[in-house]
Amino acid sequence: MAESCLLCTPQLIVLENELAYVCRDSYPVSPGHLLVVTVRHVADYFDTTENERIAIMELVHEAKDYLVKAHSPDGFNVGVNCGTAAGQSVPHVHIHVIPRYQGDMEDPRGGVRGVIPNKQKYHRSN
């Protein structure tokens, strides 16, 4: 555990297993936005163990079920930022489970490609 790490001392755990937990995002992009976090302090998803990856993905699915019951979203974005160039601001691996709602943005096509805004729209409008 890193003393200064925000994710090493979670405030409200919603779900958990032996190697990971789910908490609410402190700066949600939509109602219900959750984070799936490793218990062990490790900065990058690609440095997690196989067992941690299994535990994380189990909780991603449980988080989705939780959000369906609690918020009835119309879709989801699931993503992880690895490294500062990818936008990672907290150096403790965490996966965002972001519920999406019909009409929450004008044209959501392109989804996670929106991390680079001018690359999101790759389709042709007819």
- DSSP 8-state symbol, 30: S
Q: Are 27 and 7 in contact (CB under 8 A)?
A: no
Query: Within 13 Å, how many C-alpha atoms sit on residue 88's CB side?
Result: 18
* 61 counts as catalytic: no
**Catalytic residue of the set 92, 94, 96, 123:** 94
Q: Are 81 and 87 in contact (CB under 8 A)?
A: yes
Catalytic site residues? 94
